[in-house]
Homo-oligomer: A and B are copies of this chain.
Amino acid sequence: MENLLNVALIQHACPKTNNLSISIAGIKQAAAKGCELVVLPELHCSPYFCVTQDNKNFDLAETIPGPTCEALAKAAREYNVVIVGSVFERRTAGVYHNTAVVFERDGSIAGQYRKMHIPDDPGYNEKFYFTPGDLGFQPIKTSLATLGVLVCWDQWFPEAARLMAMAGAEILIYPTAIGWNQTDDRSIQQQQLDAWITIQRAHAIANGLPLLSCNRVGQETEDGDIFWGNSFICGAQGEILARCGDQAAVINAKIDLTASEKIRRSWPFLRDRRIDAYKGLLKRFSV
């Protein structure tokens, strides 16, 4: 017996100060396809402001709940879907987070996840803006499934996916903003994209869980990276079920929530973890 869940990714550009109308049009489109779970890209409300360090950008931050949450809550109610949205959270003066917020179908907030791994690279000045999350790797229970919501840079850390799986997540979900440096060769760009897809599929495989990754798309500033899209949905053995190209798109697929039980019986990795020998994982480096 399968237990199919129709899920959607709203891959879109975020060119304006307020892109909520784009997000909500996508949610409407996904609901029309019968989707029950909808995922938006990272920080979808505004252009990706972390390209520079500018104090004025803290004006973009909002409380949770706040105006963006209210709009997404309304959409969740109107279209009867669970929504994974992304908010630049103002917690207090001087404490801001990059936060994913999950809305139930009735518009209530099911839970939130504050991005734990914060990148900092040219064009991605996130350590300037975001205090590292302090909620840990706690999945969020919803009426559809228990969601292991992580955010972007987290996707490079097998530890994050594992901890979500071990805390009971039934789906891994990554709102994302990642792109190519325009000055890199096309071959390097393709290798990076391939690495990005590969490591996330590996989290699905390692943990026997379906995975949804929703990226932004397109170029927002003259010197900025080109967000590479390629959002995808894969099954519990990492098999690709749906994948976007580099244009805005709403894609969907039916994931089987019973697949994890089957896959984990065949490949019981969780049974065989050497927890007696993993203490080194709590170190920065061992040499």
Contact = CB atoms under 8 A, between A and B. Distances in A.
A286 B165 CA distance: 9
Interface string A130-153: 001000110000000000000001
A206 B137 contact: no
A113 B270 CA distance: 22
B269 A156 contact: yes
**Copies of this chain, count:** 2
A24 interface: no
Q: How large is the interface on A (under 10, 10 to 19, 20 to 34, 35 or more residues)?
A: 35 or more
Contacts of A205: 156, 195, 198-199
A283 interface: yes
A187 to B, nearest CB: 9
Contact of A116 (B194, B237, B277): B277
A234 to B, nearest CB: 10
A191 B117 CA distance: 31
Contact of A278 (B119, B159, B202): B159
Contacts of A121: 266, 268
Contacts of A199: 202, 205-206, 238
A194 B162 contact: no
Contacts of A159: 158, 162, 273-274, 278, 281
A93 interface: no
A97 to B, nearest CB: 14
A156 B267 CA distance: 9
A162 B136 CA distance: 20
Interface of A: 116-119, 121, 132, 136-137, 153, 156-160, 162-163, 166-168, 191-192, 194-195, 198-199, 201-203, 205-206, 237-239, 266-270, 272-275, 277-287
